[in-house]
Chains A and B, each alone.
Chain A
Amino acid sequence: MKINWFKYSSPQNFYPLAGRMVPWFAWLAALLTIAGLYVSFFLAPPADFQQKEAYRIIFVHVPAAWMSMVIYIVMAAWAGIGLALNARLSAMMAQALAPTGAMFTLLALVTGSLWGKPTWGTWWVWDARLTSELILLFLYLGFIALQAAIDDPRRADRAGALLALVGAVNVPIIYFSVKWWNTLHQGSSISMGAAPKMVVTMLTGMLLMALAFWMYAIAVALMRARCIILERERNSEWVKELVGAEICGSQTKTGVNA
């Protein structure tokens, strides 16, 4: 089967396709979440001897932290494609991913702090990973704020894309510098849980949750991309037809027609 991928690079064709894809990813996310929660609460070993039951927070913290980084990379990649090929849809995807990425970053920070309180005894530690995560949140917020501040959508797309690329170049440098700073100042006062022996079930649980978050992120990004398309293409013919057809009675599934 040969699919013409470029057909879907136009918002007009992508809108219904995304509409059809959302439920699939949503269901996958739901199923994987159930499986992941089952593993993390019932199959994972009871109470790690060092961290007690609080270690179960890892099942949501680590996948959220992974997703926060993956989404930034994917966002920068979409932004780069959008800038290089002058493709509107790529820029919209980058814009659609940013709030979800910021949310996962925030969740990683909050759950990390909820894990740190019982484990380390403090809500916040200037640990290299936590600090990098905080800086990643700032990068997301900068991207969102820049796009929100520019009125012309074309300029917002391209300016945001450039910022995302600059950020992506800087992320490794920032991470290295923070790590360097951390080793100099903290010494070995706190070892990051010393990586408690990764039991296979624990790894399975984390992977399942990470996959669930991944599917969730795709579903939500597609939903947001659909909103952005509708808002941006307000005056185009196909959107008018789409809505017009709906009013005329074929109310069945919003956007799945066309």
Chain B
Amino acid sequence: MQWQNWSAFFYMGGYGLYVWGSFGLTAICMVWEVVALRNRNQQALRLLRLLTQK
């Protein structure tokens, strides 16, 4: 185990902001893309339901 405790893990030898910034941004982008696509799919289906119900 190379980290003594959690704070050392988050501190990353002083580079926490850079390291967690990179990983965090990547995670945010990926999650956002999936959520956006979910919404887009729902939106398309909603529109189709409106069209067919008429």
Contact = CB atoms under 8 A, between A and B. Distances in A.
A182 B33 CA distance: 34
B33 A100 contact: yes
Which DSSP category, helix, strand, loop or mixed, fits chain A's interface? helix
Contact of A110 (B25, B49, B52): B25
Interface stretch (A6-14, A70-78, A137-145, A224-232): A224-232
A12 B5 CA distance: 54
A158 interface: no
Contact of B44 (A54, A114, A230, A244): A230
Contact of B30 (A54, A117, A118, A216): A216
A88 interface: no
Interface string A205-228: 000000000001000100110110
Nearest to B32: A103
Interface residues of B, number: 31
Interface centre among B1, B22, B25 (most CB of A within 10 A): B22
Interface string A33-61: 00001000110001100001110110011
Contacts, number: 91
A141 B27 CA distance: 22
A137 B4 CA distance: 40
How big is chain A's contact interface, by range? 35 or more
Interface string A224-245: 1011001100100001100110
A54 B19 contact: yes
A61 B23 CA distance: 9
Contacts of A247: 49, 52-53
Contact of A227 (B19, B22, B44, B51): B44
A66 B41 CA distance: 28
B53 A230 contact: no
Contacts of A64: 26
